[in-house]
Amino acid sequence: MLNILTIIGTRPQIIKSNILSCELKKNKNIKETIVDTGQHYDYEMSKIFYEEFGIIEPDINLNIRHSNQTTQISIMIQKIDQVIQELTPDYIIVYGDTNSTFCAALAASINKTKICHIESGLRSFNKNMQEERNRIVTDHLSEYLFVPTNNAKLNLIKEGFKARKIKNYGDLLLDASKKYSNKICSELFLKKYNLNKNKFILLTIHRQENINKDTLNEILESILKLSKKIKIIFPIHPRTKRLMQVLNIKFIENINFKMISPLGYIDTLCAIKNSKMIITDSGGVQREAYFLKRFSIIIRKETEWIEILKQKSSVLVRPKDICMAYEKFFDHKIKNKNIIFGDGKAAKKIANFMESLS
Ligand code: UD1
Ligand code: UDP
């Protein structure tokens, strides 16, 4: 029996791990225990997804709710270490680049437990990002590196990783969007938010580099200008909401600009599918936009997902250029080649590989 400990903590990690867990469960030789660190804890950032996927709770919730990163990281390492010592897993599975991932990787390596890193090999080449530091450390501590794209594989090869450790089975988010797209109910969604198909923009922002006084003000200024031309819905990430409260930004909504609570996963796919265009700084949302043939305006200086950029299905912009980008790409047609992200069977392939280790 292969004893796997999966460690997650944030919204996108619940979404991706659910897809793989469904496949791992089919295998009698594998026992997976899911630990949620509690990095994300609001109902709309966590429990809503467990409910949508029909999982009531993770096996263990560490409930670590600290906004100070140093405290968060040190407590996470301690608590994950305790779980590893108790459960003595054969492998630890971690996802992406969050603080939960970094802490799990560190605790696993201290305990000499082998790590499987999913969504490995991504690089922004900007070490000012906590996420870039987290993913580099995690990659270097991992036994197996599951990359979502060929470009991610090349990044690792250039850094000297051995090819035999790298597995390119595709992006679990493509599996997820394929699986859940057919649960979308556009009519209900459009009615609920008073929207028309292809006549609104979905906006999401949460990156640390955007959530400071000057940049957030610049973004909102551009968004308000844009709302004179098209409706915009803005499900607000708690980090963004908190700064808006601190800055006392109120009453900026208008008939065309609606701020709403974070959406569930199926509603997010529905919003993307029915939108005219996406404005985002999210890694997940820009890929889902591509999968569903929507153009993304990305409010960042760089992106890890350069395949989408190279195919001219997204553009990187400064906050003040958002309106200009909207005009320029208004009628842009997306010809997506999802094959870049695999064939939508990444979960099955990763699960088969894990079985081969048992
Ligand atoms: C984290 C990840 C980022 C990922 C994102 C997904 C790190 C360093 N960053 O960023 O890579 O893209 O998750 O959404 O791990 N908060 C709440 N309620 C919640 C969750 C967060 O109030 O349910 C508050 C926290 O208290 C914190 C702030 O939002 O002060 C930021 O949360 P945090 O998890 O540190 O970073 P994210 O921006 O969510
Ligand atoms: N998402 C969601 N509700 C929202 C916004 C995003 O369910 O209101 C989903 C989205 O579909 C994607 C994931 O969350 O699968 C992306 O997470 P996020 O943008 O928080 O982080 P990132 O992908 O940038 O790490």
How far, in Å, is the centroid of ligand 1 from the Cα of 187? 31
* C-alpha–C-alpha distance, residues 146 and 327, integer Å: 38
| pLDDT (tens digit per residue) in 68-109 | 899 999 999 999 999 999 999 999 999 999 999 999 999 999
State if residue 263 touches ligand 2 by the CB under 6 angstroms criterion.
yes
Going from the N-terminus, what domains does the chain have, and what CATH number goes with each? Answer: 2-171+342-356 (3.40.50.2000), 181-340 (3.40.50.2000)
Query: Which of 57-85 are b and which e, b meaning 16 or more Cβ less than 10 Å from the residue's Cβ?
Result: ebebbbebeeeeeeebbebbbebbbebbe
- Look at the alpha carbons of 158, 310, 220, 39 in this order and tell me if their dihedral is positive or negative: negative
State if residue 261 touches ligand 1 by the CB under 6 angstroms criterion.
no
State if residue 39 touches ligand 1 by the CB under 6 angstroms criterion.
yes
Look at residue 56 in the predicted model and tell me its pLDDT. 82
State if residue 175 touches ligand 2 by the CB under 6 angstroms criterion.
no
Look at residue 358 in the predicted model and tell me its pLDDT. 87
DSSP state of 341: G
Catalytic residue positions, numbered: 206
State if residue 285 touches ligand 2 by the CB under 6 angstroms criterion.
yes
- Look at the alpha carbons of 348, 352, 357, 358 in this order and tell me if their dihedral is positive or negative: positive
How far, in Å, is the centroid of ligand 1 from the Cα of 41? 9
Look at residue 336 in the predicted model and tell me its pLDDT. 75
Ordered strands of the 257-260 beta sheet: 257-260, 231-235, 200-204, 277-280, 296-298, 314-316
State if residue 42 touches ligand 1 by the CB under 6 angstroms criterion.
yes
- Probe target for ligand 2 pocket from 204, 208, 210, 299, with the most ligand atoms within 8 Å of CB: 204
Measured at the CA of 61, the angle between CA 60 and CA 67, to 5 degrees, comes to: 155
State if residue 11 touches ligand 2 by the CB under 6 angstroms criterion.
yes
Nearest CA to ligand 1 atom 36: 239
Look at residue 67 in the predicted model and tell me its pLDDT. 73
Q: Which amino acid is at 126?
A: N
Q: Which ligand is nearest to the CA of 12?
A: 2
Nearest CA to ligand 1 atom 2: 98
- Probe target for ligand 2 pocket from 8, 11, 236, with the most ligand atoms within 8 Å of CB: 11
Nearest CA to ligand 1 atom 7: 98
Q: Which ligand is nearest to the CA of 15?
A: 2
| pLDDT (tens digit per residue) in 222-238 | 999 999 999 999 999 99
Look at residue 28 in the predicted model and tell me its pLDDT. 93
- Probe target for ligand 1 pocket from 8, 15, 36, 39, with the most ligand atoms within 8 Å of CB: 39
Nearest CA to ligand 2 atom 25: 283
Those residues of the chain that have pLDDT short of 70 are none
Look at residue 253 in the predicted model and tell me its pLDDT. 86
Tokens (6 digits) for 268: 């997010």
How far, in Å, is the centroid of ligand 1 from the Cα of 214? 20
- Probe target for ligand 1 pocket from 16, 73, 98, with the most ligand atoms within 8 Å of CB: 98
Look at residue 10 in the predicted model and tell me its pLDDT. 98
Nearest CA to ligand 1 atom 11: 98
Largest CA distance in the chain: 60
Look at residue 267 in the predicted model and tell me its pLDDT. 98
How far, in Å, is the centroid of ligand 1 from the Cα of 334? 31
* C-alpha–C-alpha distance, residues 197 and 220, integer Å: 24
What's the predicted TM-score (pTM) here?
A: 0.97
* C-alpha–C-alpha distance, residues 171 and 246, integer Å: 37
How far, in Å, is the centroid of ligand 1 from the Cα of 239? 6
Look at residue 66 in the predicted model and tell me its pLDDT. 76
CA distances 295 to 50, 83, 338, 341, Å, are: 29, 42, 14, 17
How far, in Å, is the centroid of ligand 1 from the Cα of 243? 13
